[in-house]
A and B are shown apart, each in its own frame.
Chain A
Amino acid sequence: MHISTNIWTWVAVLLTFGIFSFLWKDNPFYKFCEHLFVGISVGYTIALTWYNSVYPDLVTPLFREGKPLYIIPFVLGLCYFCRFIPKVSWLIRVPMGFVLGWASGVAIPAYFQTNIIKQIQGSLLTPAIFARWDIFLWALISFIGVVCSVLYFFFSREHKGALRLASETGIVFLMIGFGASFGYTVMARMSLLIGRFQFLLRDWLGVIK
């Protein structure tokens, strides 16, 4: 048992207990940590954005290598500053339009390719399912599951008759799917707590390896 002598480890421990104190109740120690967290995280983003994005991608090509074309993204980027000048605050819509247009134009074909066509191909039953009884059964169940679950999200007709049966089968698959995610999430949360305790026991108290 050899407690850490590093001042900054103690700071980290104090901040850890500061956040954990929220479990007891919302208190000044927690509020301090919460607001400190907000400030540091934004400050950190500013520093990294400058060194990793703005400086190498804009300052170097435009001001150091003098490539004139980079004026355009520079001006578009500056428009975001107008947000705080009431008279011209509408100007932030220009860079937003540029980014949103570009992102939507790139996303649409990519979505079709990866989330629709490829997934349809995965849903198709092929003669390969006749290989073994269990492959056949699981492929059939998956097929019914996909069709019924999609029908659950069909909004153009009241769910009556066959559509009602399909949508009720669909919700069963959906709930099993959410149950699976729930199970994995419990594991995720516990791992995070275990991680914090490992920090306290190892880096702070030196009780475990």
Chain B
Amino acid sequence: MSFFEKLLKIDRKVIFIVIAVLVLFPLLKPLGLGVSSGPRAKAVFDAVDAIPPGKTLLISVDFDPASMPELYPMLVALMRHCFAKNVKVLLCGLWITGAGLADRAVTEIPPEYGKKYGEDVVYLGWKAGVDAVILGMGENIKNVFPVDYYGHPLDSLPMMQEVTRLRDIPFMVAISAGTPGFADWLLYAQSRYGMRVGAGVTAVSAADAYPYLQSGQLTGLLAGMKGAAEYEVLVQKNGYSRAYMPAVAAMDSQSLAHIVIMVLVIIGNVAFFATRRIRR
């Protein structure tokens, strides 16, 4: 069997080991390759930065634990950015599995800035019926969420007095790992209530957000772990936070992994075409 045929016959477990080693190595010994920043992440940062103190940023937590590495750092960085500027944060969710993640962020991040639940941050929880939830919130948030995730009636939360419906919210970021996600917020919140929407997405759905960016429906995009790393860098550079940046720390492994994938595709195709020529 020629060298190329042997190449093609490599057991896929070998490839698994190669990937595991190359991803683990930089986590232990950082290579310090750094993070390049693009215009789309800056657009989200500028939109959040423009929110006047006392006003509210809405974040929709529409992802699950499996997408945490890419999307959870975005949620944390956005919250740190708001709290550093005394902007209030309102969270809700369309994914049942996002409930636990939003709750974790709401318990861990506010104390870093001395912010209190009910005054500076509220988590409404998860609700079934995507379009019904968004459209309901457009008319009156209390209709959809009579009580927040922790069971407090909305009237008892000081922050919720001036935020009764979507029109009271200057900007929102939909952090979504698929459907339902930012497309639904555009389809229902923007088209009916003129909501300005930014999006944080898993890298897999980033390329498909571009038509909405070009048409002006989306105000900026955080694409995958790279988007999270870019936002973390922007938040730190503007002096809003000095905390550890998980997404930035992971970018070395990310870069190495990309190169490995490209090399694998090239070798795989070279071997494939070489064996085909021999066989013909």
Contacts and interface: CB of A to CB of B under 8 A. Distances in A.
A187 B217 contact: no
A56 B147 contact: yes
B75 interface: no
B135 A106 contact: yes
Chain B interface SS verdict (over half): helix
Interface in A144-197: 177, 180-181, 183-197
Given A188-B202, A193-B19, A114 B68 contact: no
Given A48-B126, A114-B190, A207 B207 contact: no
Contacts of B216: 122
Nearest to A146: B211
Interface string A100-123: 000100110011011100110110
A201 interface: yes
B69 A191 contact: yes
B108 interface: no
B187 A188 contact: no
Chain A interface SS verdict (over half): helix
Interface string A194-207: 11111001000001
Given A103-B131, A106-B131, A188 B203 contact: yes
A118 B215 CA distance: 7
Contacts of B207: 177, 180-181, 183-184
Interface stretch (B21-29, B44-52, B163-171, B268-276): B21-29
Contacts of B28: 201, 207-208
A207 B99 CA distance: 29
A197 B27 contact: yes
A85 interface: no
A36 to B, nearest CB: 15
Interface size class of B (residues with CB under 8 A): 35 or more
B215 A119 contact: yes
A130 B191 CA distance: 30
B3 interface: no
A183 B257 CA distance: 12
B191 A113 contact: yes
B84 to A, nearest CB: 22
Contacts of B253: 190, 194, 197
Interface of A: 23-24, 44-45, 48-49, 52-53, 56, 60, 103, 106-107, 110-111, 113-115, 118-119, 121-122, 142, 177, 180-181, 183-198, 201, 207-209
Interface of B: 13, 16, 19, 23-24, 27-28, 66-70, 96-97, 99, 125-129, 131, 135, 146-147, 186-188, 190-192, 202-208, 211, 214-217, 223-226, 244, 246, 249-250, 253-254, 257-258, 261
Q: 8 shortest A-B CB distances, which residue pairs?
A: A195-B69, A122-B215, A188-B203, A191-B225, A190-B257, A187-B203, A180-B207, A184-B203
Given A113-B191, A187-B225, 4 more contacts: A60-B146, A181-B207, A186-B203, A201-B28
